[in-house]
Amino acid sequence: MAKEFQFNWKPTIIPELLHGSVFDRYDDESTCLELNAQVRIDENGFFLRWLIEGKDAVVLDMGQIWEARTGGLPKDGRIMFELEQRGASETIAERTIWITHGQDLVNVQSFFLVAESVELAKTCRAGINDILKSSRIRHVCPTTQLMKYHTWLTMNVNERRKIPIKLIIKTFSSGKPEKMVQKCLNDLGLGGDKYTPARVINRSMGKKFRNFYKCSRGRKRKEREELDVDILTFEKFQRLYNKICPRTEVQELFVKLSGQKEYLTKERLINFLNEEQRDPRLNEILFPFFDSQRIVALLKKHENDIKYQEDGKMSGDGFLRFLMSDENPPVFLDRIEMFMDMDQPLCHYYINSSHNTYLTGRQYGGKSSSEIYRQVLLSGCRCIELDCWDGTGENKGEPIITHGKAMCTDVFFKDVLVQIRDTAFARSDFPVVLSFENHCSKSNQLKMAKYCMDIFGDMLLSKPFEDAPLDPGVSLPSPNRLRKKILIKNKRLKTDIERHQLDQFLREGKLDEEDELNETPEVVGEDSVSPREMPAKENDEAHPELKQNFIAKNLKGFGFSKKQPVLTKEEEERIFAEYHYTGATTNIHPLLSSLVNYTHPVKFSGFDVAEANNLHFHMSSFSESTGLGYLKQSAPEFVNYNKRQSSRIYPKGARVDSSNFLPQIFWNAGCQMVSLNFQTPDVYMQLNMGKFEYNGGSGYLLKPDFLRRPDRTFDPFSESPVDGVIAAHCSVRVISGQFLSDRKIGTYVEVEMYGLPTDTIRKEHKTKVIPGNGLNPVYNEDPFVFRKVVLPELAVLRFAVYDENGKQLGQRILPLDGLQAGYRHISLRSDTNQSFILSPVLFVQIVIKTYVPDELSGLVDALADPRAFLSEQKKRQEALAHMGVDDSDIPDVPNTRNMALRHVKQPPRQNGSSADLLANNGQTGSARGDQTSSMASSTIRSPNEQPQPVAVDKFKVDPIEVDDLRRDKAFAKLLKRFQKELDDLRKKHQKQRDSIQKQQPARRRNSSIAWIQTNVDKLITNNRRSTKKEKGSRRSLTASVSSGCGSASGTVTVSVCSPSGASCSGYSTGGPSTPVACNSDGTGSPATIGSPVPQDLVNNDRVRSLVNTQTGEWSAMVRRHDEEEFELKKVQLKEQFDLLRKLMSEAQKNQMLALKLRLEAEGKDLKQTQTKKSMEDAKVIQLDKGIKTKAERDRRVKELNEKNLKMFVEERKRLAMKAQKHEEQLTKRHLDQLEQLDKDFHKALDAEVGNYKEEQLAAQPTSVV
């Protein structure tokens, strides 16, 4: 239930009107004055009535009165003569109250009340306008509306000052027969008295008619019935209403709530008010729940049974009275008052705006009126349009207002300003914007400026405020700051040009002739064009149709005369399309230009240009077609533009019938001034009037937060909830209607929603037609569901009642943001948003809650009511027990959702050195050890405990190991080739050694040589061992003996001194080896191990020469062999690493390819899953019997498809981003691997070179002797 709000709708009635005063009355069609009319207003301010002796009362609904203003002198001379006879002629205008009334803005009627004194007229005029200024009476409850109709019956008396029974019977004739109503009247003692009306012959009738009445005097006249006013009390009228129209649907609801009892207990009533009649989204502090204390106060108001009041009970009658009271409104009643913040910049508000305000009909050939400006402003409009042209003919020299070149009539610009001055702030104190479309010459522009200054006076805002200059980045002033100010929207000169020309004008009283005649290209306006592009001056006239050539060209072809052309709609459109409608003039007078400030129109050059300029006082106008184009192309930019400055949207030129477009489209984008044709009360105009009915009818509505804040982004075509805004779910069940029509005809109800494109639902939710009952049809339809309302702040509900022929009987616009949940009565309005004398009422049930997706509804229900969820589990347990199943026999089973995750198929591990190098769970040795330990620990879980699903990274890859590459076939083959080449080289070297050995002397037989061989052999053996031990060389200096000691020519390695005496080498002989010591001078000494060497042999020159020669040749050969083997190993090492690099590049390429293939496979799988899910969802929706209409089914399918698409697109994006991340990481890893491979190559090469150099340094001369 809503927070308690004191709704005092009764206006204050001054005593002169409450008790009645005497006036003389006449209207424009009267030819005589009605004297001494008793004029009064009832105590509730419902009606104004005047009584004239001997005539029926005339009752006028105060809701249909536009205003009471100072009247002029009567046009008819006889009336003027009679008034002069009854009072001072000089005060007739001041003593006259001019009352205008009508059911729409165009068909306005007037009558005049002439008071006895000026003071009485002034007091009554102000009293009537004060009543009209309050809009609360338009939002009264159905009970008050019944009271209003009862007041109308009691005031609408006949000449005998009694109530005609026929009025009461006619009230219920649309659903009940006359005899039945008459019987109910008799049962309640309201049958009345019968009388025969006296014959009245009007003197104005002709002689034949008077003779006819004289001849029929003998005929019996029909008796009429009447009722005393005092007898028909409101309580009896309520009883009559309940007797003729029993509310059976309310009684059924009461029985359901009370549990088949005759009363509602306090507990049940509290539960009903807090559960059924309350929006669950409301704050509990600002909107407190009903408690016992509030229930007691409620019972005192609506329960008439004292016993029930004391017991805390409510009867069925009290329940009905509550449902029809002011405490059960469909919209929060505080929204009727001023509840919005009015201190925001002007561009942060929606402004009620009018297009071509002066027209009362069609755009082509229509009639212009200055009076309609009054009705438009009194209806709450705050931006009106004035198309200004130079007068022609008898109006020459005066600015006029007309639809130029469209064959429309004219009104004077000055007269329109007077009407604006009188009514601009009669209903609202907030600023009025005058949108000038200026086609006048400078002379007439000067008159326009002077008229504005003289007529408006202080109301005109002629210069900006000092604290809000017209500088970049400065925000517009607020509506509160601009209270009772009139702003002019007109093209303006550049600042320096304006200052120069204005100084000249104020100094000299005129402008230069060149300035008077030439257009001013320096003007800054909406439709500025260069002088070359402007049409000729003679073509820029308001009425080219008055020329002979125009009439002959355009009208003779249709067969019409000059005097009164009557065109069809198609002909109007054809002629209208042939005109080149020129834009407003750029030849602006500096005085008029100086009056423009915060509504400075400029030609739109792009959203980026406007953002760069950052001039908040600049605004642009767009036709609806152009606006739709910008919305379609750059919707978020358009929204941001409207956060900073204002925009105005007007109907396209093809709407010659003055039809309107859907304003909601541009409200969604934050457009402030969506201008409509007020003279056409179509559905879109009803939306506009219904929307601006709230916030005190000020004409200003604060835009939602996300359409004002620059740090928020918003797309008006969004189909997903906006950040910070919670989507709503709304359903409406139409139960019944009352007093829907005054005819006995079939009716049906249509419920629509307007908001964002995704929220808008039109022509879809309709009830069945209830035939032959316009009084109290019962529909009892299934709820009309609006499942997902993305932006409730922008959405409105429209209720409309139509007869069986499609004619609208009533409508109402309710904002979803202020809508109340529960069982509500909704009073309907006319197509012009005016109230009826007896308003049609709909009884509906409204459910509003937070939108919850279908897949989360079960969870939300469980969280909202855990007891119900647990009781559901308990019910299942009891049902199984009833079937003989013991609960202890049922094991705990895992959640099916977790099971689904566990059953995800794991892709196999793949080798990193082949084409499939992707590994889903590649780990290092330590990681594998951790996994092993975790697996071991998982084996000791309890049987009921389910293991957690392991997240699988589908894009993780194993690093490429060099050892794996070395095991590749190509690399093994390369190594075999390398070994073969090395073996071949070594065989070649061995052959060379063998060849050299064969070339040595074969016959060395003397004993000295044998002795040398034996001792050198020993020396060489010892030398070899010491060399291996000290240097660890991988090669030993050995001599190959072909067949051992038993060969024909034995080979013995002998250690000898080099020629330089620096080192020793071995040489081979045929006998046993014997170590020989080498001296520093090249002489050798026998070793101490063997037998001593003869001194003469050591000093033998021949032996020494032989040893030196053999040593040099052999050592050179050994060095050459070592170098060749080293070069071969270098080449092999380079080829080896080149092949490793190639294999690694191929493996990396395969990894990348596998990564992309996996992404493509995942994308295909996602598409297949999406298609499958969409088909399954569509099938579920098709089988859902709760969805009644095809449109709702299609919308649900579309919503699910879009949801699935968004979900899978996000999933694909996530996978793509993850794959890209892995690809980047893999690329970096690949580069690191190649870099490391290059480092390994250089390191191995450096090691080989180092070993070679070390061996060369450690090598000694060797020889074979």
Q: What is the set of active-site residues?
A: 355, 403
DSSP assignment of 573-604, as one string?
HHHHHH-------S---HHHHHTB-SSEE---
Instruction: Show the CA angle centred on residue 328, arms to residues 323 and 333, nearest 5°.
Output: 155
CA distances from 979 to 982, 1032, 1128, 1132 (A): 5, 23, 11, 10
Structure tokens at 830: 């006319």
- What is the distance between the alpha carbons of residues 134 and 143, in angstroms, rounded to a whole number? 20
CA distances from 340 to 197, 709, 987 (A): 57, 16, 105
How deeply is 932 buried, as exposed, middle or buried, from its count of CB atoms within 10 A (0-12, 13-18, 19+)? exposed
Residue that has been written with the tokens 């050195």 in this structure: 913
CB atoms closer than 10 angstroms to residue 676: 25
Percentage helix, strand, coil for the chain under 3-state DSSP, each rounded to 5: 45, 15, 40
Stated as kind and residue range, the H or E segment containing 87 is none
Contact 368, 411 (CB under 8 A): yes
Residue 774 is given by DSSP the state S
Nearest to 655 by CA among 405, 403, 363: 363
Nearest to 445 by CA among 371, 505, 367: 505
Beta bridge partners of residue 857, listed in sequence order: none
Residue 722 is given by DSSP the state P
Angle between the N-to-C axes of helices 413-423 and 371-378, in degrees from 0 to 180, rounded to the nearest 10: 30
437 among annotated binding-site residues: yes
Using DSSP's 3-state secondary structure scheme, residue 350 falls into: strand
Nearest to 384 by CA among 408, 349, 425, 352: 352
28 among annotated binding-site residues: no
Contact 361, 852 (CB under 8 A): no
- What is the distance between the alpha carbons of residues 259 and 1263, in angstroms, rounded to a whole number? 127
Using DSSP's 3-state secondary structure scheme, residue 1074 falls into: coil
Residue 380 is given by DSSP the state T
984 among annotated binding-site residues: no
The distance of Cα 211 from the centroid of its chain, to the nearest Å, equals 76
Using DSSP's 3-state secondary structure scheme, residue 627 falls into: helix
- What is the distance between the alpha carbons of residues 59 and 46, in angstroms, rounded to a whole number? 10
Contact 121, 20 (CB under 8 A): no
What number of CA atoms fall less than 13 Å from residue 405's CA on the CB side? Answer: 15
The distance of Cα 714 from the centroid of its chain, to the nearest Å, equals 5
Encoded amino acid at 202, one letter? N
Beta bridge partners of residue 786, listed in sequence order: 730
Q: Residues annotated as binding site for Ca(2+)?
A: 356, 385, 387, 437
Q: Residues annotated as binding site?
A: 356, 385, 387, 437
